Amino acid sequence: MRIADTFPCKIVDEYGHVFDDAIATILDGHEFLNRGFSADAPGSEYTFKTETDGAAYRVMYWYNKESVGKFKSRPLLIAEGGGFTDVLKVDMTHAEAKEIVAKPMSQDDKTLQLVKYDLMRMWD
C-alpha cells in the first residue's frame, strides 16, 4: 500500500538536531496483518477476522515550512543495530496504538493513523 500524507510535526534527525516545526511526508506505509477464519460448529458458517499486528513506514521531511519547495526533503533516519535505517516500525505496545487498531475503519485508514500517531509521539 502506498500512502502519502504531509503534516507539521517535531523531528529529531540522526545527529540529534531538533526541528520543532518540521514538515513530514509519509511515503510508504505497510501493515502486518493476521488473517484467519473459524466456525462455531461443523457445518456452520465461517467467521473471517483480520487483525493488524504492526506497521512500518518511511518518512521524508523538511526543516520547516519555509524550506518546502526551496530545498529537497531529507529522509528520516533512526539509529538501529549500530547503524541507521529509514524504515520505522510503529510501537504497537502503546495504548493509543491498540485503540486505533480496535476502531472500525478500513485497513488503509488504520495504517495511516498508526503511522501518524507513531511519528507524532516519537519525540514527545
User: pLDDT of 35-64, one tens digit each?
Assistant: 677 777 777 777 776 666 778 888 999 999
Could you state, in order of their start, the residue ranges of all structural domains in the chain? 5-121
Residue 53, φ and ψ in degrees, nearest 5: -90, -20
Q: Is residue 1 very low, low, confident or very high in pLDDT (cuts 50, 70, 90)?
A: very low
What pLDDT sits at residue 33? 63
Average pLDDT over residues 107-119: 87
User: pLDDT of 78-108, one tens digit each?
Assistant: 988 889 999 888 888 889 988 998 899 888 8
Residue 46, φ and ψ in degrees, nearest 5: -80, 145
Between CA 10 and CA 63 the distance in angstroms is 9
Whether the predicted model's global pTM rises above the 0.85 cut? no
Between CA 108 and CA 48 the distance in angstroms is 18
Bigger pLDDT: 32 vs 29: 29
Average pLDDT over residues 64-87: 92
Q: Is residue 30 very low, low, confident or very high in pLDDT (cuts 50, 70, 90)?
A: low
